[in-house]
């Protein structure tokens, strides 16, 4: 009997990639071809999707200035808009999903619903929206607010936002597009109706002025980690993307999402929980460990990681002593659950140890270091324990280079495929269908 298959996504962003790394390509990433090449490579390996993370400001959280961010292009800066890039990727590929992160803080719901519908057409049913509520005061200030609304309020607003989007996407009934040459009828106007949505935060008349796309609504990804965030994700997401501490943490996370989904009246199998990992793959286990050690000892590694965690929490980590534990449990109106994963409060570890353990600002769920076989063993064991559904693969700090892609797509994935653990061909045309196929 073949082993239980799991899903793979790749997590990156539209940034200067690994611009000064030893194996950086050296060209400009801004015309998108670097990312299109990456997507094609991931498609050959059968990945469900390439996901583009996003933020909407240049942070000054680390040291109270943008210096580290801009000078070294660290953390999350500079960053281009993921929606046009996702469109380009969708138009340049045939089977892989293209996912853009779009913030409910940034877009009026009508524009977002319309844009998602348009991109889903251009990507022939393979567009995904990673729903975020934004987590930085600087982002809020770029949209005319004095500061970020409180987390609870952000989720309350996002809840209403989603409801409004669903109504817009459904404002064209099935069969509304007629295209009858005899009667010169393009659409049946009786099947396209206003929604007259009036909420506490948003109002929209509707209907949407786009034709329903192949998926009607985009595939929804979500990463909320707080109790409100998890409930929101379990209600709306086709795929929950998550970081958790080890296989125990992963199992607890997935069980929680599945029971929350059931509480929302959903079939828990319709919500895939995919865990963030950053594998280091090499010819031998020793070489992989040596490479990992080199990466965490590299100049700027600590600063790079701290700029990232500062940016997503609005906390100045430059103010803390690297060789002492954090002075108290830190709280933020930004990404609290990411912060909690990172600070591992009560462990007594120094800040330097925390950074090295997290392999950068992005916390991994399980450490994956070794040959393709070693890493495949660890992935197989983790999935068997957790119960499914897959992994979201990234590189430390999400900066991408071609070598790391090849190691995963031409080294690790073939081993997983030989074991029957991941797909070898796509069974469906749309992202949601492929995601829910097993
Ligand atoms: C894998 C992963 C990817 C994320 N991607 C983004 C992103 O692209 N943009 C963003 O603003 N937040 C992103 N987040 C943050 C989440 O949207 C969320 O704010 C965070 O997990 C904290 O949850 P909470 O808001 O419920 O406290 C990501 C989180 C994780 C774990």
Angle between helix axes 336-343 and 301-313 (nearest 10 degrees) is 140
Closest residue by Cα to atom 13, ligand 1, is: 132
Enter the pTM of the model.
0.96
Residue 414: pLDDT over 60 = yes
- Tell me, using a 6 A CB cutoff, whether residue 332 lines ligand 1: no
CA–CA gap between residue 411 and residue 371 (Å, rounded): 8
Distance 179 CA to ligand 1 centre (A): 42
The Cβ of residue 21 has, within 10 Å, a number of other Cβ atoms equal to 17
The Cβ of residue 259 has, within 10 Å, a number of other Cβ atoms equal to 11
Q: Tokens representing 214?
A: 């192949």
- Tell me, using a 6 A CB cutoff, whether residue 313 lines ligand 1: no
Pocket mutation for ligand 1, best pick of 15, 77, 275, 335 (most atoms within 8 Å of C-beta): 335
Residue 398: pLDDT over 80 = no
Query: What percent of the chain shows pLDDT beyond 90?
Result: 79
Between these two residues, 357 and 423, which has the higher pLDDT value?
Answer: 423
The model's confidence at residue 75, banded by pLDDT at 50, 70 and 90, is: low
The model's confidence at residue 16, banded by pLDDT at 50, 70 and 90, is: confident
pLDDT at site 356: 83
- Tell me, using a 6 A CB cutoff, whether residue 390 lines ligand 1: no
Residue 3: pLDDT over 80 = no
Residue 397: pLDDT over 70 = no
Residue 102: pLDDT over 90 = yes
CA–CA gap between residue 85 and residue 102 (Å, rounded): 13
DSSP conformation letters of 224-290: --SHHHHHHHHHH-SEEEE--SHHHHHHHHHHHHHHHHHHTT--GGGSEEEEEE--EE-SSHHHHHH
Residue 77: pLDDT over 90 = no
Q: Which phi-psi region, left, alpha or beta, contains residue 323 (left: φ > 0; alpha: ψ -120 to 50)?
A: alpha
**Side-chain-facing half-sphere of 342: CA atoms under 13 Å:** 25
Closest residue by Cα to atom 12, ligand 1, is: 132
Distance 239 CA to ligand 1 centre (A): 13
* Closest to 354 measured CA to CA, from 400, 296, 421: 296
In terms of Cβ atoms closer than 10 Å to its own Cβ (0-12, 13-18, 19+), residue 265 is: exposed
Residue 1: pLDDT over 50 = no
The model's confidence at residue 95, banded by pLDDT at 50, 70 and 90, is: very high
Distance 371 CA to ligand 1 centre (A): 30
Query: What percent of the chain shows pLDDT beyond 70?
Result: 97
pLDDT at site 336: 86
The minimum-distance atom of ligand 1 relative to the CA of 241 is 1
Could you report the per-residue pLDDT of 324-375, keeping only the tens digit for each?
999 999 999 988 888 988 898 888 999 999 988 876 556 678 999 999 999 9
Q: What average pLDDT is seen over the chain? A: 93
Distance 185 CA to ligand 1 centre (A): 45
In terms of Cβ atoms closer than 10 Å to its own Cβ (0-12, 13-18, 19+), residue 284 is: exposed
Could you report the per-residue pLDDT of 103-143, keeping only the tens digit for each?
999 999 999 999 999 999 999 999 999 999 998 999 999 99
The model's confidence at residue 302, banded by pLDDT at 50, 70 and 90, is: confident
Pocket mutation for ligand 1, best pick of 14, 104, 132, 142 (most atoms within 8 Å of C-beta): 132
Distance 242 CA to ligand 1 centre (A): 8
Between these two residues, 136 and 9, which has the higher pLDDT value?
Answer: 9
Distance 333 CA to ligand 1 centre (A): 12
- Tell me, using a 6 A CB cutoff, whether residue 55 lines ligand 1: yes
Distance 335 CA to ligand 1 centre (A): 7
- Tell me, using a 6 A CB cutoff, whether residue 134 lines ligand 1: yes
pLDDT at site 294: 87
The partner residues of 242 in beta bridges, in order of sequence, read 275
Residue 74: pLDDT over 90 = no
The minimum-distance atom of ligand 1 relative to the CA of 276 is 1
- Tell me, using a 6 A CB cutoff, whether residue 276 lines ligand 1: yes
Answer for the pair 401, 22: CB distance below 8 angstroms, yes or no. no
């Amino acid at each position: 009997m073949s082993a239980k298959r799991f899903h793979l996504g790749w997590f990156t962003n539209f940034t200067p990639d690994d611009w000064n790394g030893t194996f950086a390509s050296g060209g400009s990433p801004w015309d998108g071809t670097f990312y299109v090449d990456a997507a094609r490579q991931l498609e050959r390996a059968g990945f469900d999707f390439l996901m583009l993370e996003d933020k909407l400001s240049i942070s000054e959280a680390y040291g109270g200035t943008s210096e580290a961010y801009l000078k070294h292009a660290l953390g999350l800066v500079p960053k281009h808009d993921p929606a046009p890039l996702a469109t380009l990727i969708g138009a340049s590929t045939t089977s892989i999903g293209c996912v853009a992160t779009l913030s409910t803080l940034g877009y009026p719901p009508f524009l977002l619903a319309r844009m998602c519908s348009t991109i889903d057409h251009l990507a022939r049913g393979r567009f995904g929206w990673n729903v975020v509520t934004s987590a930085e005061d600087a982002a809020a200030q770029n949209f005319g607010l004095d500061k970020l609304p409180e987390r609870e309020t952000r989720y309350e607003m996002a809840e209403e936002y989603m409801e409004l989007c669903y109504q817009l996407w459904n404002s064209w009934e099935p069969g509304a597009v007629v295209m009858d040459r005899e009667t010169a009828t393009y659409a049946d106007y009786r099947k396209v109706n206003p929604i007259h949505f009036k909420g506490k935060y948003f109002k929209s008349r509707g209907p949407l002025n786009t034709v329903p796309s192949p998926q009607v609504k985009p595939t929804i990804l979500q990463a909320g980690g707080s109790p409100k965030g998890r409930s929101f994700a379990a209600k709306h997401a086709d795929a929950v993307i998550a970081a958790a501490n080890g296989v125990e943490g992963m199992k607890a996370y997935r069980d929680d999402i599945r029971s929350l989904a059931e509480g929302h009246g959903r079939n828990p199998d319709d919500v895939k929980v995919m865990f963030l990992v950053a594998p280091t793959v090499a010819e031998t286990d020793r070489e992989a460990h040596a490479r990992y050690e080199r990466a965490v000892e590299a100049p700027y590694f600590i600063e790079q990681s701290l700029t990232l965690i500062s940016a997503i929490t609005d906390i100045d980590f430059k103010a803390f002593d690297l060789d002492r534990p954090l002075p108290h449990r830190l709280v933020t109106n930004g990404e609290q659950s990411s912060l909690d994963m990172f600070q591992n409060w009560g462990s007594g570890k120094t800040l330097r140890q925390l950074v090295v353990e997290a392999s950068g600002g992005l916390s991994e769920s399980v450490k994956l270091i070794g040959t393709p076989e070693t890493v495949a063993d660890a992935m197989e064991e983790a999935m068997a324990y957790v119960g499914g559904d897959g992994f979201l693969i990234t590189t430390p700090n999400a900066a991408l280079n071609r070598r790391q892609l090849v190691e995963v797509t031409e080294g690790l994935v073939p081993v997983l495929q030989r074991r029957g653990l991941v797909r070898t061909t796509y069974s469906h045309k749309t992202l949601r269908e492929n995601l829910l196929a097993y």
